[in-house]
Amino acid sequence: MSADWLCPDWPAPARVRSCVTTRQPGVSLPPYDAFNLALHVGDDPRRVAHNRALLCQRLACQPGWLEQVHGTQVVAVDPQQVLVADANWTDQPGLAACVMTADCLPALFCDRTGRCVAAAHAGWRGLLDGVLEATLRALPAAPEDVLVWLGPAIGPASFEVGDEVREAFVARQAQAAQAFQRAAQPGKWLADLYLLARQRLAGYGVTAIYGGGFDTFRDPRFYSYRRGTPTGRFASLVWLQD
């Protein structure tokens, strides 16, 4: 694993491995510098392929790449094809559940015995529609036996949304109002993706939730769509070792 990458701090079982990449090392040129892993953002595909090969080499696993669409579809990890989904899971050692983000919330899952893992991409639309709950339903483990780590996303001081976003969340769950603070501009709110995710997970029965506290908009280690486009994507991965 590269010394530049982030190792999630959560009490996962010994056979569970997890990692979040950053903008370093890598071969992508500006504005994608340097470790962009996404093919859909305009980067040179050859450079993306080089970065992906380096990722597999250093982590000794095969990621299941997704075409993410801000939905709630969950699929089994398949390293042989790119599937349209916003979450994937596996119980097979050496295969990595993987999502790519650049402000949206990545969430990593594992069960307490280390039998299965999952990764979910939760932008506000997917979070609202239940991508985290759908991921939990896909896992062969009860929610109370699942650990979740919330990775780098845009922070509550940086994520400005309109009235319609707040109203949609509050209509689904009244306590979601706690995750919104008025912004300086009328009709705008600062949204806390981490709190919204914790509320949804807790509401589904998850008691072990870790991570949070990042802000991709302000942290130059990570890509941020709101900080500047075009930009790359970093990956959050979780896998099982034999």
Q: 114 near 15, Cβ under 8 Å?
A: yes
Is pLDDT above 90 for 99?
Answer: yes
Q: Looking at the domain assignment, is residue 60 inside a domain? A: yes
- Does the pLDDT value for residue 1 go beyond 80? no
Identify whether 195 is part of a domain. no
163 CA to centre of own chain: 25
Sign of the dihedral defined by the CA atoms of residues 224, 26, 6, 139, in that order = positive
In Å, what is the CA distance from 152 to each residue of 24, 48, 174, 187, 192? 15, 21, 26, 27, 13
pLDDT of residue 66: 98
Length of the chain: 242
The beta-carbon contacts of 197-200 under 8 Å, at least 24 apart in sequence, are 197/105, 197/107, 197/122, 197/127, 197/132, 197/150, 198/150, 199/173, 199/175, 200/127, 200/130, 200/132, 200/133, 200/173
Confidence of residue 2 (pLDDT cuts 50, 70, 90): confident
Mean pLDDT for all residues in the chain: 97
Closest C-alpha to 44, from 29, 63, 55, 34: 29
Total tally of structural domains belonging to the chain: 1
Instruction: Report which secondary-structure segment, H or E, holds 238.
Output: strand 234-240
143 assigned to some structural domain: yes
Per-residue pLDDT reduced to its tens digit, 137-192: 999 999 999 999 999 999 999 999 999 999 999 999 999 999 999 999 999 999 99
Residue 149 covered by a domain: yes
Average pLDDT over residues 104-124: 98
| pLDDT at residue number 80 | 94
Q: What CATH code is carried by the domain that includes residue 26?
A: 3.60.140.10
**Residue 58 within any structural domain of the chain:** yes
Residue 3 — pLDDT band, cuts 50, 70, 90?
confident
- Average pLDDT value for residue range 26-45: 97
Residue 228 inside a domain? The answer is: yes
pLDDT one-digit tens code per residue, 127-151: 999 999 999 999 999 999 999 999 9
In a domain, 3, yes or no: no
Interior/surface letters 74-87, b for 16+ CB within 10 angstroms, e for the rest: bbbbbbeeeeebbb
Is residue 1 domain-resident?
A: no
End-to-end CA distance of the chain: 18
Could you tell me what percent of the chain has a pLDDT over 70? 100
What's the DSSP call for residue 14?
T
For 35-48, what is the HEC assignment? Answer: CCCCCCCCCCHHHH
The total of other beta-carbon atoms located within 10 Å of residue 140's CB is 9
**150: β partners:** 107, 211
pTM above 0.85? Answer: yes
pLDDT at 35: 98
Domain ranges, residue 225:
16-153+203-240
- Asked if pLDDT for residue 48 goes beyond 90, the answer is yes
| CA distances from residue 136 to 20, 88, 118 in whole angstroms, order as listed | 21, 11, 9
Does residue 242 carry a pLDDT above 90?
no
